[in-house]
Amino acid sequence: MEQSHERARRFVDPEALLPLTPAVFHIMLSLADGERHGYSILREVEQYTNGALKLGPTTLYRSIRQMVAAGLIEEAEERPDPALDDERRRYYRLTTFGRQVALAETRRLERLVAMARATSFGGQAIGLGFSTQGASGIGGGE
Amino acid sequence: MTSSSSPIHTPTDSRRLPPRSVRLTLALWAVLLRLCPRAFRQTYGVEMEQVFRAMLLDAWRERGLRGVARLWAPALGDLLLGAAGAHGDDLGLSIEALRRSWIMSRMRSSAIITFSAYIALVLTGMGFQKLTEDIIKSNLPSMYPGIAIAHDVVMAGAVLALLAVLVGGLPVAWDAIRKALGARRWGILALFSVPPVSLAIWLAYIWAAMNVFVPNHLSQSAQLAQAHLLGRILVALLLLGAIASVIAVSIAVSRSQITPNRYRFALRAAIVATLGMALTMAGVAAFGLQVLAAAPQDLSVLATPLGFGESMGLSLLVQTIVMFIASVVAVISVFRGLSAPPPRPDVTAALA
């Protein structure tokens, strides 16, 4: 089964998975610089969105389950040192395919923003600082 | 696991005894967690509790009881909506799995039916070859070029169909055999051994019939009667071997995990095979009509090779009908197989 996933991934165009849900994309962004455990992902997303996006545990792990199944992220094999952290805690990291998908989503959003800037919304957005805050509250990522 | 690889760590000490309000909230939340699908809970339940516990402890440390209370409404909403979503994911994946299984079964059955139809045509073609060998050897084809052309069309169609079946079928068989060898599934390999074993038995019988079974001391009429009997057994063995081979290969293929792309390629080759089959059938019909026009008396000659007392004309008619049915069945099954929608890769289904 795992082999067929791996084989399927090789033939899947990263763009076929777009657009990503906000929760999935934010989780991928939080894993861009290295592996993290669930709570660390949650805090990172909250921090860099200035609290605009607060993921709840169920939304977080539902997204993680989907992303693992899609091969976007994987569980890190290493477990934390029991002296430093809870050893039951699982760490997740982006896969190569996940990185390609995140890049594709970034490019898609860039194109979208460029299009928006080219319209009459562009001037207003620049004047208003182009706020992207939309989702709010716990589990507001879907 | 280094701290640089995970820049943000839980700010709370998860081993310190949490306050009562946190413990109660966590206990209630753990009960509500049962709303999530079992498999989901089994995989992520512990982690989810860890995360919620850390959230509660942070809220309690920052705002006390008020912080814990403020976390409740969004946490409950997240749990209820997330649980419903997780059930939806499971249902969606089940539907996708059913859809995939239906598509695979349709492609597999199409490939197997086309293959069976081809074998039926091959057997009929062998009968045609045996039936018409005297006509081909006579001067009839040189006198009536239409007969020779029709015979060439039969041969060309047969070769085209054979090549297409080999091109489309061998990768499927190779895939199944390779996987069976890798997984040590001896039953599958035994099924694939049925065609060569059947062929070996058939060839051994031919050798024995020619060298052992017809004693020289018998009278000519007795030898002829025995030759007829041996001929019938030969045909029966051929049919039995072919039927057993088709059934065995079909079972082996249906029990193997062949990729959709292999089947799709096999079905594309089956279009060419079907074309070859139709050409063969048309050639046989044309051959019969040419002989009917050129030498009708030849068609009333007994078709002695099979020894069933039928005339050559009737044999050709039956062969044409069988080939026509085989070609129609192949066309329908190829069309059914190719009209099946391509299955979505697991990857896209997971994020659907």
Q: Tell how far CA A46 is from the center of its chain.
A: 12
The span from the CA of B330 to the CA of B335, in Å, is 8
CB B238 within 8 A of CB B123: yes
Say yes or no: A23 contacts chain B, CB-CB below 8 A.
no
**Per-position pLDDT tens, chain B of length 352:** 433 344 444 444 444 556 777 888 889 999 999 999 999 999 999 999 999 999 988 888 888 888 888 888 898 999 999 999 999 988 887 887 888 888 888 888 888 999 999 999 988 888 888 888 888 888 888 888 888 999 999 999 999 999 999 999 999 999 899 888 888 889 999 999 999 999 999 999 988 887 776 666 667 777 777 777 888 888 889 999 999 999 999 999 888 888 888 888 898 999 999 999 999 999 989 988 888 888 777 777 766 555 555 677 888 888 889 999 999 999 999 988 888 877 666 656 666 6
- Nearest chain B residue (CA) to A70: B347
CB A90 within 8 A of CB B47: yes
pLDDT at residue B151, rounded to an integer? 92
- Which residue type occupies A7? R
Cβ within 8 Å of residue A87, ≥6 positions away: A79, A80, A81
Containing A75, the helix (H) or strand (E) segment is strand A73-75
Containing A135, the helix (H) or strand (E) segment is none
**Percent helix, strand and coil across chain B, each rounded to 5?**
85, 0, 15
Cα–Cα distances (Å) from A21 to A18, A45, A116, B231, in that order, read 9, 14, 20, 71
Pick from A33, A58, A64: CB nearest B36: A58
- Nearest chain B residue (CA) to A40: B8
Planar angle of CA A115, A119, A123, nearest 5 degrees: 110
- Which residue type occupies B120? A
CB contact under 8 A, B351 and A17: yes
Say yes or no: A64 contacts chain B, CB-CB below 8 A.
yes
Look up the pTM and report it. Answer: 0.62
Within 8 A of B14 by CB-CB distance, chain A residues are: 86
Within 8 A of A72 by CB-CB distance, chain B residues are: 351
What are the phi and psi torsion angles at A53 (to 5°)? Answer: -120, 110
CB A17 within 8 A of CB A106: no
Full DSSP string of B275-309: HHHHHHHHHHHHHHHHHHHH-HHHHTSB-TTT-S-
CB contact residues (below 8 A), chain A span 83-112, against chain B: 84-86, 88-91, 97
The span from the CA of B111 to the CA of B115, in Å, is 6
